[in-house]
A and B are shown apart, each in its own frame.
Chain A
């Protein structure tokens, strides 16, 4: 029997069982659309978080001493970069924007608000210089960054809220200087930072480089130099080569943001696996719904099968007929799902979904503060189309391959 005839017959059959066709196509379309939206949201979460990590926390990369890199998780001030100005000048001459920073841990002691002490990460920077590589300076929502020479601090807004602190309140930092000697630093809160990076809002404090230099006995040293890279893959690679070469001349090492965020990326990698499982479950649920309607369709049409076989239709042709029907349903359902997914993804990409109500108090390692923007991922749409068709074919084949081998008389009695 010719394929063209079978395809036409399959199309007619679909029109004959309109209600069933519509239900099956809708189930598949909703499943595919749900998969696409989930995929967009999960990919958007990762992208949003990575950008927040680069723009507000890590920069594109950092230059440090080899000794610092070996122990960087402890933020070892003892292994700071000496003469960072010379290195920064060399980077500037090579057209690489850079900013000096010093990061250290401290215990913050507050006597106003709820009072008490808590561990914090303190970043010392020069706000003017930092704008070259980081967007943090734009995120001071209340007050201002401390000025040069001022014993002040800007701190994460969420942390301030948790501690009941406001601009004008005092915070004492218990610190250990570069050489291991203890010091206490009395600071006035000059501003509150509310950035798109949840980690910054939750546990970071910012002071000026000269305050850090003074209290931590740094004598001009800084823990690292943060750099920015140009857009474009080739340009970035070239810039990184230049940075590595310059760093080597000054006894420093360059590490891109991925090196610094290995723990985060490992966790995100685990989440990618979990996301895959979620998407797989979405498919399973859609497949079960689809299998149910397809199985019903095959069972209900057993007599029809028996009759067609008694009229001389071969088993292979009958199997192909049903597979063509399934394929058409798959194409219609997947296309419908893609259209639904596209339409649903437009507001997700443009406006995003607001999860801030739960992100404020819920730390999962991701750096975004709550609004997740979806992304466009062409491959997911292609996978959705292919998978939709394949699922329909597989489910039909499983439903049909036993029934079709039954004696004709038994099929007619069904």
Chain B
């Protein structure tokens, strides 16, 4: 009996030592999404009770802190959004001027249910959140880790996130975003992933604003190029003009 108990304890320790933690899952997930530079073209479709609105764009990014998006559909052609560190600039060719956004203005809507902050979010999740592996479960037909992220910084955009991450590929499958009062604010559903080199890029996703309730926004990336050579000038305010 004593021998059996010792063996059980030993195997439990072994299993615990080999078990993956929530933080490791998030690290792997972030790692798969991280790249030095990226260029892509895509489409955003906003669906609400008034119908659909479609915008197309080209985006460039370098690391976590530099991001440029230019709309290419005729209605918004030439409008640009630039993020450099924590500052964001909007450029409208009709107005021929840039608007600098910071602070709470970053939460404003860029398109449909997508905020300026959403499109330029970095892959530094663990800097802002504590991650705990809750359990493993089947989500959208995929074996997933259910990871609960809780804000460790007061400026985290959401107090809590519940993420379902594919157990084999470490790619996000579904996410829920909660406020401090546990109100479910948004969810994200990943419908498509593109494998480019050793990276997995979320290429088709739907974002739902559950407070508004009657709308959702779809984002599709068509051409994705990883690690292209990008000029420094691209991520400057002057390049917007």
**Least distance between A75 CB and chain B CB atoms (Å):** 8
CB distance A184 to B211 under 8 Å?
Answer: yes
A71 located at the interface, meaning its Cβ lies under 8 Å from any Cβ of chain B in the complex: yes
A179 located at the interface, meaning its Cβ lies under 8 Å from any Cβ of chain B in the complex: yes
CB distance B104 to A76 under 8 Å?
Answer: yes
Give A176 to B117 CA distance when docked, in angstroms.
Answer: 12
**Least distance between A123 CB and chain B CB atoms (Å):** 16
- With A115-B214, A172-B211, A176-B104 known as contacts, the answer to whether A181 contacts B156 (CB < 8 A) is yes
A269 located at the interface, meaning its Cβ lies under 8 Å from any Cβ of chain B in the complex: no
Give A109 to B215 CA distance when docked, in angstroms.
Answer: 12
A286 located at the interface, meaning its Cβ lies under 8 Å from any Cβ of chain B in the complex: no
**CB within 8 Å: A-B pair count:** 67
CB distance B154 to A179 under 8 Å?
Answer: yes
Q: What does the 1/0 interface line of B146-158 toward A look like (CB < 8 Å)?
A: 0000010011111
CB distance A180 to B212 under 8 Å?
Answer: no
List the B residue with the shortest CB-CB distance to A184.
Answer: B183
**Least distance between A114 CB and chain B CB atoms (Å):** 10
Q: What does the 1/0 interface line of A173-208 toward B look like (CB < 8 Å)?
A: 010110111111000000000000000000000000
Q: How many chain A residues touch B (Cβ–Cβ < 8 Å)?
A: 26
B181 located at the interface, meaning its Cβ lies under 8 Å from any Cβ of chain A in the complex: yes
B53 located at the interface, meaning its Cβ lies under 8 Å from any Cβ of chain A in the complex: no
A51 located at the interface, meaning its Cβ lies under 8 Å from any Cβ of chain B in the complex: no
- With A109-B211, A115-B214, A172-B211 known as contacts, the answer to whether A181 contacts B104 (CB < 8 A) is no
Give A203 to B211 CA distance when docked, in angstroms.
Answer: 20
In the complex, which residues 138-169 of chain B have their Cβ closer than 8 Å to any Cβ of chain A? 151, 154-159
**Least distance between B236 CB and chain A CB atoms (Å):** 23
The residues of B that contact A116 with a CB separation of less than 8 Å are 49, 214
> What does DSSP make chain B's interface, helix, strand, loop or mixed?
loop
In the complex, which residues 103-128 of chain A have their Cβ closer than 8 Å to any Cβ of chain B? 104-105, 107, 109, 111, 115-117
- With A180-B155, A181-B156, A183-B181 known as contacts, the answer to whether A77 contacts B212 (CB < 8 A) is no
B103 located at the interface, meaning its Cβ lies under 8 Å from any Cβ of chain A in the complex: yes
**Least distance between A177 CB and chain B CB atoms (Å):** 8
CB distance A181 to B213 under 8 Å?
Answer: no
A78 located at the interface, meaning its Cβ lies under 8 Å from any Cβ of chain B in the complex: yes
List the A residue with the shortest CB-CB distance to B184.
Answer: A184
Give A174 to B179 CA distance when docked, in angstroms.
Answer: 10
B185 located at the interface, meaning its Cβ lies under 8 Å from any Cβ of chain A in the complex: yes
List the B residue with the shortest CB-CB distance to A111.
Answer: B213
A350 located at the interface, meaning its Cβ lies under 8 Å from any Cβ of chain B in the complex: no
Residues of A with Cβ closer than 8 Å to B? 71, 74-78, 104-105, 107, 109, 111, 115-117, 172, 174, 176-177, 179-184, 215, 217
Residues of B with Cβ closer than 8 Å to A? 49, 102-105, 107, 151, 154-159, 177, 179-181, 183, 185, 211-214
Can you name 23 A-B pairs with beta carbons within 8 Å?
Answer: A71-B103, A74-B104, A75-B104, A76-B104, A77-B104, A115-B49, A115-B214, A176-B104, A176-B107, A177-B180, A180-B154, A181-B156, A181-B158, A181-B159, A181-B180, A182-B107, A182-B179, A183-B180, A184-B181, A184-B183, A184-B185, A217-B154, A217-B180
11 extra interface residue pairs, beta carbon distance < 8 Å, beyond A179-B154, A180-B154: A75-B104, A104-B104, A109-B212, A115-B214, A174-B212, A180-B156, A181-B159, A182-B158, A183-B180, A184-B179, A184-B183
